[in-house]
Structure 1
Amino acid sequence: MPRTPRSRSLRWADVAAWRLRRHHLRGPLTAPEPWQAVKDVSAALCGLHAQVMSSAEQAVAARTRLPDAGAAVREALWERRALVKTWAMRGTLHLLPAHELHLYVAALRDDRRQMGDRLLAQQGLTPGDVAVVLEALPTALGEDRLTREALAERLTAVTHDRTIGEKVRSGWGVLLKPAARRGLLCFGPNDGRNVTFCAPRYRLGADDERAERSTPTDPAQALGAVLRRYLHAYGPASPDDFARWWGTGTPEVRAALSALGDAVTATDIEGHRSWALRDDVADMAPAPTGDGPLVRLLPAFDPYIVGPSRQLVSLLPHPALRSKVSRTAGWISPVLILDGMIGGVWKAQRRVRHTEVEIEAFVPLSSGVRRRIAEEAEGLLAPGDGHGITVRFA
């Protein structure tokens, strides 16, 4: 790991202020076209968490203030093909920039921690099943866009093994995630209520093909390139922070960090040893608050929280509040952000004529801050069709 004679001392307020800028939460990201803004947000955040698509759309809205972020995301994903929906880090669904897909695939290719024998056994599967699917999938999928049922039938025909098709039908995602990590499969537009799958190579444009040729193919080098991007969005961070986000082991991350050499430097954040890109550290100073804290409402599974999840306690006013943000079964609550720190959680319920937003604050809120929260809710959640927003504080 790179060594420096002295660590830069920072406060969590410094880090939070810097991350707000990097996440385009202090000033919205703009682009000539809405779909380009979506692509740029995805690239800046190392992908958008897409287990819940509405959360991905709200994450874009929070950073762009587009009047219809959902439409912009769909255009970027399905029409412009600037994004790819696929299983990536931690085996979870993400919207990745199409021109960077090959980088993530290269970094994920040899990481077997995300699909261990124990997980396979829990689903009644074996490593042999995975090997069969990986070999047969390119032929079975071809250039087509197939539902899971149709893909299972194709795999049965190619392998002459009916049990493979049955396992693809019953073991949702488990046999397909390794193929996604190899770059053999991604999601296509839905067929009615059914998801579809296709081969990424038939969705890539000329620019993406050129990006593929310049992407490192060695998994260790690719992991280092992803780590650099991660630090630029979520740094300073420790090897454990990145390992949790990526879903890998800390030794691999330490090796990648060491390979970055003088491009990174050590920092001390109120006693927490972390690393940042050397060029970023100079900008890590609190932004002036002016007449009050910067208020942002972020959706469930927002990258601002998921990316540095091991640092969650340091962003809260009290450690006991962690369970309100990071809940059971891996659920990450929508959060209220005040100057980059977590000031509460929120939930919204859409009614016939209006949406009710309930704020559970972790800190006292002045009347001025409450007005800003109401304005933020209006900007984030109002669809512009006369549908009203009602905000109440628990």
Structure 2
Amino acid sequence: MPTPRPRMTGEERRRRIAVRHHLAPEARAGTVEQVAGALTALHGTDPATVHLAAGARLAGAAGDPVAAMERAPYEDRTLVRMHAMRHTLFVVPTALAPVVQSSTTDAVAARERATLIKQLKAGSSLDEAWLADVEKSALAALERRGESTAAELAQDEPRLREQFLYGPGTRYEQPQTVATRLLRLLGTEGKVVRGRPLGSWTSSRFRWAIAPALPALAPAEAQAALVRRWLASYGPATEADLAWWSGWKVTDVRKALSAVEAVETDLDEGATGYVLPGDTGPAGEPAPWAAFLPALDPTPMGWQQRDWYLDPGHRAELFDRSGNIGPTVWWNGRIIGGWAQRPDGEPVWRLLTDPGSEAVKAVKAEASRLHARLAGTRVTPRFRTPLERSLSA
């Protein structure tokens, strides 16, 4: 008689994220590097997300998450900001950067380069040879300067100011400078890296620097390594979850799951989930917990299929039209509401369900912890959602 597949209930999955994502108070991390490693990667698209995501998961004795998150990528070099899965900016542990680059980003970069050359030819008299010459000159200038903004580089290489039509014939059509697209492409290819922000930790302006060379890995080897890391963070998860998160083809997802000998499990919704070998046992039972997570936090963005932690009826309030989640309020592994800031910076929230008096008390305590952490800084998410807009008004 065949051995029955292990079952992973929604309750078990919620216990796992409480502990593995450092969300329950007794499971909070001691360093920002621990947080990034536990989540595989932190979303870096919205500059404030990495700081707020880390702060929500750090123990009180860990110190200032903003200062720690400024040190890690720019002084200690223990984290790196890079284009990665789904062509999204992430902050990943430095040791994981070669895995991400070889498993995912190299393929994205090849497509990006082909697209840029096609658009240059279609919208101007510029071509591939011209771009290669500008690229060589810009990299040499950046090497001389050490760190530089795009505007500063254009002083050394004026051709970076040339314009072309981006996205012709689409709703994204607009003129762009060569600098904007080329530096982003070079970042995706791992040739340059984003430096320290210009201004505060919420700033979207930054300098560029020459990136340290990353060892090249065989794509299949790198994909298996990334899946092993990701399942440790997010398993059990479905093929669809992994394909969505990684941006890979389903065939690549299946090969990587096979390579790590992922174990099939039954999920509550009737789907097949996957975990690492030896990872089918129950998680510990954490004490009740609440959390205020930022827009684009890795936990709610970790899965495509979210019904086990999100009421489908609340999606319209919490997501924008492109599928980006806004700031959320959590209770024991479920999203129960959203939050924003008043003009004076004080957090304000709205619960979309009645979680009971114990939860409300815990939510208020977490709001106070967030208020202290923000220290008067006003954060407006780049991707705004209906509930966040309503609350901030």
Instruction: Give matches, 1:1-394, under 5 Å.
Output: 6-26=4-24, 27-31=26-30, 37-65=31-59, 66-107=62-103, 108-111=105-108, 115=112, 124=123, 128=128, 132=132, 138-142=139-143, 144-154=146-156, 162=159, 165-166=162-163, 170=177, 173-191=180-198, 194-201=205-212, 217-261=217-261, 264-270=262-268, 271-284=270-283, 287=285, 293-308=288-303, 310-317=304-311, 319-351=312-344, 355-383=345-373
- Shift in alpha-carbon separation, 1:163–1:137, aligned structure 2, 3 A: closer
Deviations 1:132-172 (A, max 9, x none): 3666664343262121123345555xxxxx37854696267
**After alignment, is 122-131 or 340-349 more displaced?**
122-131
Question: What is the SS of the residue equivalent to 2:266?
Answer: strand
The aligned amino acid for 2:197 is N
Between the aligned partners of 2:209 and 2:365, the Cα distance in structure 1 is 41
Deviation at 1:312, TM superposition (A): 2.0
Give CA-to-partner distance per residue, 1:263-284, whole Å, 9 cap, x none.
Answer: x100111112121112222134
Asked whether the 8 Å contact 2:19–2:27 carries over to 1, the reply is no
Greater Cα shift, 174-183 or 332-341 = 174-183
Alpha-carbon separation, structure 2, partners of 1:385 and 1:181: 34
Which deviates the most, 41-50 or 111-120?
111-120
Distance of 2:376 and 2:189 partners within structure 1: 46
Shift, 1:118, TM fit? 6.3
Match for 2:251: what amino acid? Answer: P
Q: Which residue of 2 aligns with 1:209?
A: none
Give the whole-Å Cα distance in 2 for the aligned partners of 1:337 and 1:114. 38
C-alpha displacement of 1:68: 2.2
After superposing the two structures, state which structure 1 stretch, 16-25 or 139-148, moved more: 139-148
Distance 2:278 2:321 in 1: 38
- Alpha-carbon distance between aligned partners in 2 of 1:120 and 1:360, rounded to the nearest angstrom: 47
Larger displacement relative to structure 2 (230-239 or 136-145):
136-145
Which residue number corresponds to residue 169 of structure 2? none
The CA deviation at 1:226 is 0.9
Amino acid at match of 2:217: T
Question: d(CA) in 2 for partners of 1:120 and 1:17?
Answer: 48
Give the SS at the match of 1:303. Answer: coil
Q: C-alpha distance in 2, partners of 1:231/1:134?
A: 38
Alpha carbons of structure 1 residues 13 and 386: separation in structure 2 relative to 1, 3 Å: same
Q: By how many angstroms is 1:70 displaced? A: 1.0
Residues 104-151 of structure 1, C-alpha deviation per residue, up to 9 Å, x if partnerless? 212221346863866876785999489736666643432621211233
Q: TM-score, normalised by structure 2?
A: 0.78
Task: Specify the code of the residue in structure 1 equivalent to 2:53.
Answer: A
Aligned equivalents of 1:127, 1:218: Cα separation in 2? 31
Q: SS state of the match for residue 241, structure 1?
A: helix
Any stretches of 5+ residues in structure 2 without a counterpart? 165-174, 378-390
TM-score, normalised on structure 1?
0.78
1:79-122 CA-partner distances (Å, limit 9, x unpaired):
22222222222222222222322222122213468638668767
Distance in 2 (alpha carbons) for counterparts of 1:6 and 1:130: 61
Amino acid in the other structure paired with 1:183? G
| Cα pair distance change 1:51/1:130, threshold 3 Å | farther
In the alignment, is the contact (CA less than 8 A) between 2:10 and 2:308 conserved in 1? Answer: yes
Secondary structure of the residue aligned to 1:279 is: coil
Q: Which moved more, 1:375-384 or 1:251-260?
A: 375-384
Unaligned residue ranges in structure 1 (runs of 5+): 32-36, 157-161, 203-211, 388-393
| 8 Å Cα contact 1:141-1:154 kept in structure 2 | no
Report the identity percentage. 27
Root-mean-square deviation (CA), in Å?
3.3
Q: Which residue of 2 aligns with 1:390?
A: none
CA drift at 1:184: 0.7
| Inter-CA distance 174–25: structure 2 relative to 1 (3 Å threshold) | same
Q: Secondary structure at the match of 1:109?
A: helix
2-structure distance, mates of 1:120, 1:12: 47
- Distance change (3 Å), C-alpha of 1:269 and 1:147: same
